[in-house]
Structure formats: C-alpha cells, structure tokens
Amino acid sequence: MQVQHVRRALAGLGIILVVTSSAAAAPADEIQSRRDQAVAARERVVELGMKLESAVERFNRANAGLDAVQARIADNLQQLRVTRSNVRKARAALAAQLVIEYRAGDTDAIAALLGARSLDAMLGRVTALRRVNAQTRQVVSDLLTARRELTRRERKLAADRRQADALVASAASAQAEIESGIARQRQFVRGLEDEIAQLEREEAARQRRIAEEARRRLAAQRAADRAAAAPDPGIGGSGAVRAGADGSISVPPPANGSIGARAVAAALRWIGTPYSWGGGNANGPARGIAHGANTVGFDCSGLTLYAYAQVGIQLGHFTGWQWNAGQRIGRMSDLAVGDLVFFGSDLGHMGMYIGNGQMVHAPQTGDVVKISSITSGHYVSSFRGGVRPY
C-alpha cells in the first residue's frame, strides 16, 4: 500500500514536473517567436525603406531644382522691371525724336509712324528709311533692343513658372509615395514595439563596436602614413574591399587619400543620429522637410554633403548631383576610403566607403546613421559604382 502511495505521489510529482516544465517552456517559445516576428518585420521595414530612398531622392531633386528655379524667377522679375522701364524710356525718347524730326521738316518718319499697324512694324519702317538721321536710328535701335529683351525675359519667366509647377507636382508625388510607405512600415511593426526596441538596442551596441574598429583602422593607417613619410598623411589613406584579416589594404591609397579619410572621420561622429529625409547640411544634422520636418538628422545625401563640407568640398543635396561630382570608380576592388558609393539603377541610395568592405550611411526613415557591409546582401547586388569627389 505504501508503495502504491509512493508511486501515486511520484506520478503526481511527475505530472507536476511536466506541467511546470511546459509552463516554463511556453513563455520562452513565445518570446523567441515574437523576436523572430520582430526580426522579420524589421527586415521588411528595411527593405521598404531602401525602396523609399529613391522617392526621397526624387523629393530632394525636386526641391533643390525648385529652389534654383524660384531664384531664377525672382531674378527675372527684377530684370523685367528694369527692362519694362527701359522700354518706356525708349518709347518716350522716340516720341521726342520724332517731334524733332517733324519740326525740322522731315516728314518721312512721321509718315512711317502713321502708316504702321503695330509698334514693331513702325520701328521696322523707320529703321529702313534712308533719310532718317543717326540720332533717330539710335533711338529706334535702343527701343528694339529693349523690346526684344522684354519678350525674351517674359518667355523665360513663363517657362520657369511651368517648370516650377512641374517640380512642385513631382515633389508632391514623391512625398505621397513616401508617406504611404512609412504608413506601411508602421503596420509591419505594430504590436512588436518592445521586441523591435530591443533589436535596435542590440544593433546600436554593435554599431558602436564596429565604428570604434573603423576609427582604430583609420588611426593605424595614419600612423603608417606618417611612418612612411607620406606627403599628405591626413588621418588615413584608403582601404579596399579586398582587405586582409589584419585590416591590411590591397589597393595603394591615392596621394591625397587623407581627404577621404577626414571626410569619413567627420561622418563617423554621427553614428546613431536619426534618419530625417531632406535632413542634414554643411553644418551637421538638421531638420528635414515634410515628414522629416520634426526630426533633426540626415538623409543619405545629406550625410555625405556634410562630411565633405568638413574638408572644403561642396556637394549638392541630391544623389544624382553627387554621382557627377568627381572621378567614377567602377569596381568595388578599386574603392578608397571616402569614396562615395551608389546603389540602384536610379541612384536611389548612397553612402561613404570606410574601408574593409563597409560604408557609413543614413539608410531610411526609422533608422539611424550606421555602418553596413557592401559586400553582401542587397548592397552588393545593387552596387552602381563609386565617385571620388576630390
């Protein structure tokens, strides 16, 4: 009987152990499942963000173009005021000269005036008269010149206004696409906010580690340059994608490679800074535009614009302009530290090569300035080329 009691007790204990073990395992499995969901959601957010970068750069191009067009319009309006004044003065001068001609008994110019159906026709007739004196010819010539300038500027103003309207429409279209994409990004992560936050904390810690490694690598290169008595030591040289395990470089650095290294050092100071579309200028992170208006940070071309401004090189706030800002580098194996790297057939994204197969960049909305590999995944397959802007 005691044995049966013991067996029943053990059996009961066994049941308790099984239930307790299952109860403990269930939350762990659930936590892992939610983490997996968060990882997948974050990957979808990143993928969508990469696609949205093209729209962000279209928005940047439209706004930068609009700024230029509006500046031309303002200048043209000012010049038009001057030109219209010149036309009025030339007309008054012609009227006065015709009075002088009439009082002198020369009626040919008056006859040409009365027989013309338009001012241009009248001016043409007066100019054709052989007996018109040099003074009258000069007055007529001045008026013709002023009228041609007025017509040219009026046509240019109309064309600029049409272009401005098109740029406004382009910016609005890109903004709508971006806003829609951001709404989709938020749907992906809804309900997984805590898990996403933990992933972001882990990624931030990893970014700090690899940023410090990059800084040490640049410092080591500077020491090597100084030891070799390089003519332009700066704070680094160049790095190539084919780097050895010890960080050695397989492609010799350009003579002025320290320019790129200094630009990289400037960008690395902002690791962890929020992405803000339209954000960033030559002075550092700045409020963006539209959706980025409330975020102080950088977008991809804003970060590189800032970094190179620190070494005295001016770049435009648009990937397309930066793509044309220097010497083209066709192969990853030829990249040097500081080279601008571009991705996508439409140049939708860009970053700055930091050596060791990595770039520093501002990826997309919801992300931060970070270091990523360009030798695997999306970036290696979408690599368009590099540019050395010095």
- Segment of 25-34, 41-50, 137-146 carrying the highest mean pLDDT: 137-146
Q: pLDDT grade, residue 182 (50/70/90)?
A: low
Structural domain boundaries enclosing 133: 46-189
For residues 57 and 145, membership in a common domain is answered with yes
Of residues 380 and 184, the one with the higher pLDDT is 380
Of residues 160 and 332, the one with the higher pLDDT is 332
Rounded Cα distance between 348 and 165, Å, is 23
For residues 54 and 174, membership in a common domain is answered with yes
Identify the helix (H) or strand (E) that includes residue 254: none
For residues 232 and 148, membership in a common domain is answered with no
Residue 284 lies in a domain: yes
For residues 167 and 222, membership in a common domain is answered with no
- At 110, the amino acid letter reads I
The answer, yes or no, to whether residue 52 has pLDDT greater than 80, is: no
- pLDDT at res. 313: 96
What is the pLDDT of the chain when averaged over all its residues? 75
Least confident piece of the model among 128-132, 185-189, 380-384: 128-132
Q: pLDDT grade, residue 156 (50/70/90)?
A: confident
Residue 18 lies in a domain: no
The answer, yes or no, to whether residue 354 has pLDDT greater than 90, is: yes
- pLDDT at res. 29: 62
The answer, yes or no, to whether residue 53 has pLDDT greater than 80, is: no
Average pLDDT of the residues in 300-310: 96
Residues 6+ apart with CB under 8 A from 379: 343, 359, 372, 373
Residues 6+ apart with CB under 8 A from 356: 214, 217, 239, 243, 247
How many other C-beta atoms lie within 10 A of the C-beta of residue 27? 9
Average pLDDT of the residues in 229-258: 43
- pLDDT at res. 124: 59
pLDDT in tens, 93-108: 777 776 776 676 666 6
- pLDDT at res. 25: 44
For residues 150 and 70, membership in a common domain is answered with yes
- pLDDT at res. 244: 40
Of residues 139 and 301, the one with the higher pLDDT is 301
Percent of the chain with pLDDT over 70: 63
- pLDDT at res. 7: 43
Strands, E assignment, the chain: 286-287, 296-297, 327-329, 340-343, 349-355, 358-361, 370-373, 383-388
For residues 200 and 185, membership in a common domain is answered with no
Asked if residue 304 lies in contact with residue 360, where contact means CB atoms within 8 angstroms, the answer is: no
- pLDDT at res. 353: 97
Rounded Cα distance between 325 and 333, Å, is 20
- Segment of 100-114, 140-154, 320-334 carrying the highest mean pLDDT: 320-334
Of residues 101 and 74, the one with the higher pLDDT is 74
Asked if residue 52 lies in contact with residue 365, where contact means CB atoms within 8 angstroms, the answer is: yes
Any idea what the CATH number is for the domain that residue 255 is in? 3.90.1720.10
- pLDDT at res. 50: 64
Residue 244 lies in a domain: yes
For residues 110 and 220, membership in a common domain is answered with no
Residue 3 lies in a domain: no
For residues 169 and 244, membership in a common domain is answered with no
Residue 85 lies in a domain: yes
- pLDDT at res. 108: 61
- pLDDT at res. 9: 41
Q: pLDDT grade, residue 246 (50/70/90)?
A: very low
**End-of-domain residue from the set 189, 218, 251:** 189
- pTM for the whole thing? 0.55
Rounded Cα distance between 68 and 91, Å, is 34
Any idea what the CATH number is for the domain that residue 148 is in? 1.10.287
- pLDDT at res. 15: 37
Rounded Cα distance between 351 and 292, Å, is 19
**End-of-domain residue from the set 189, 219, 240:** 189
Average pLDDT of the residues in 228-237: 45
Residue 55 lies in a domain: yes
Of residues 2 and 112, the one with the higher pLDDT is 112
For residues 113 and 251, membership in a common domain is answered with no
Residue 53 lies in a domain: yes
**End-of-domain residue from the set 156, 189, 222:** 189
- pLDDT at res. 241: 42
- The total domain count for the chain is 2
Q: pLDDT grade, residue 358 (50/70/90)?
A: very high
Q: pLDDT grade, residue 247 (50/70/90)?
A: very low
Residue 237 lies in a domain: yes
For residues 179 and 205, membership in a common domain is answered with no
For residues 173 and 243, membership in a common domain is answered with no
For residues 319 and 203, membership in a common domain is answered with yes
